[in-house]
Amino acid sequence: MIELNDITFAYEAGGFTLNAGALSIAQGEKVAVVGPSGSGKTTLLHLIAGILVPTRGKVSLDGQVVSSLSDKARRRLRLSRMGLVFQGIELVDYLSAKENVLLPYRLNRGISLDDKAKQRAEQLLQRVGLSEVAGRAVSGLSQGERQRVGICRALIAEPGLILADEPTASLDEASSASAVDLLIQLVEDSGSTLVMLTHDKVLLPRFDRVVMVDRGAVSGGVS
């Protein structure tokens, strides 16, 4: 599903270069990306998402060369084909849990916010144990509850690819394991591909493969 070929990325300010070489991820595969802070994990994820464009090489999603698209086209691709789970969650505090889950439909005119989408939002919130707070502003929710809302938002449009950047970094050990189990269960049910950055080695047995990023070099890129 994902192909990175001969990838190099260097920030304009200098000081850091990522050399991804070859990275191949199959449809439905669950991949954990690990490495020290500052090693390039987030840069790698942003290259896959099309947030960044490689200095050399190309990034492809289902045969489409993402790195050759315009900024607008890459954004449209993220909204329609990818679900993103951020470390900081990035919810809209004044919106309800359900409204936050449905936010991708407000941002992407290519998908229709119909009764089916609203029903799916309710079903996802029920599965993560948040039915009772679906109509409550997320500013009043706990960190763990907010993380579950973020997971539901990433999955609401049934994307083929889920990209998660240290989604459990702000949670305690028990909540972290629970959130990852939930994310993996929902991803497996939908048949999506999951690429998740994590610093928690306890979570690694839950994944099909581990990719290591260390000082800008990527290993374990081909299954």
pLDDT category at 74 given cuts 50, 70, 90 is very high
pLDDT category at 221 given cuts 50, 70, 90 is low
pLDDT score recorded for residue 222: 59
Q: What is the mean pLDDT of residues 111-115?
A: 79
pTM assigned to the model: 0.86
CB contact at 8 A, 149 and 138: yes
Domain boundaries of the chain, sorted by first residue: 2-219
Q: Which residues pair with 98 in a beta bridge?
A: none
CA distance 18 to 56: 10
Residue 177 has pLDDT above 90, yes or no: no
CB contact at 8 A, 44 and 18: yes
Q: Torsion angle, CA of 29/175/80/27, rounded to 10 degrees?
A: 0
Residue 223 has pLDDT above 60, yes or no: no
pLDDT category at 56 given cuts 50, 70, 90 is very high
CATH architecture of 2-219: 3-Layer(aba) Sandwich (3.40)
**Residue 73 DSSP one-character state:** H
Tokens describing residue 129: 């144990």
Q: What is the mean pLDDT of residues 70-74?
A: 92
Q: Higher model confidence: residue 141 or residue 168?
A: 141
Q: What is the mean pLDDT of residues 114-121?
A: 90
* Mean pLDDT, all residues of the chain: 87
Q: What is the mean pLDDT of residues 195-203?
A: 88
Residue 25 CA to its chain's centroid (Å): 14
Per-residue pLDDT tens digits for 14-34: 678 888 888 999 999 999 999
- In the block, residue with structure tokens 């999506």: 192
Residue 45 has pLDDT above 70, yes or no: yes
Burial of 14 (0-12, 13-18, 19+ CB in 10 A): exposed
CB contact at 8 A, 133 and 100: no
